[in-house]
Amino acid sequence: MDKKVYSIDGKELRTISLEDSVFAREVSEGSIWHAIKNELANKRQGNAKVKTRHEVRGSTAKPWRQKGTGRARAGRRQSPLWRGGGVIFGPQPRDYSYHIPKKIKRLAMKSILSLKASDDNTFRVLEDFNVESGKTRDLASILSNFPSDGRTVVILGEGENNAMIKRAGGNIRDLRFLSYNRLRAHDLYYGNNILVTEGAATKLGEFYGS
């Protein structure tokens, strides 16, 4: 697959050849679904907690005698049947995270990259750049040449300049940074504007290529 390489000013510079097994393969919707579901589950804190009848404070004395009052039997005020009592089958702290096979993760990433690369208005390759000042306005001026209505995702390759770029984008709304070897399916799939540096595009082909 051939893609145009743009300068930070939004002008066409040259053409780059991308790995077809990564950017032009058949899309596997099932693997994408599993990868996104796995990421969202792993992010869950799982700290919802309610008190059972054994954890509610209060007297353990029997409210009234067993027989002769005409009322129903009652053993203790912590019963879930009473106001202020415990909760039956309520949420307890748990770990929602789980693992999926690496092959499914890799297939999901390649499928998303292929899906996004099929649209020239969504997927663009940029020349390698740097924001030496680390200031937001300098990075914002670059991104203004590639406008988007929603989330913008910038995929970076290797280099010492990444720290300054991420620092400059810390205050920009709906902007995500991803490393070529640490992609996130959720951010990538729901990104409306995917900007890949030229170095990252090459590394993606090597990392996920067959």
| Signed CA dihedral, 199, 205, 207, 208: sign only | positive
Distance between CA atoms of 197 and 200, rounded to whole angstroms? 5
Structure tokens, 68:
């002769």
What pLDDT, on the 0 to 100 scale, is given for residue 209?
84
Reply yes or no on whether the pLDDT at 37 is more than 70.
yes
| Signed CA dihedral, 53, 57, 61, 64: sign only | negative
Read off the pLDDT of residues 70-125 as tens digits, 9 standing for 90 and up: 999 999 999 999 999 999 999 999 999 999 999 999 999 999 999 999 988 899 99
- Comparing CA positions, the residue from 134, 200, 199 lying closest to residue 172 is 134
In the CATH scheme, what is the code of domain 2-30+101-208? 3.40.1370.10
Mean pLDDT across the chain:
93
Sequence ranges of the domains in the chain: 2-30+101-208, 45-95
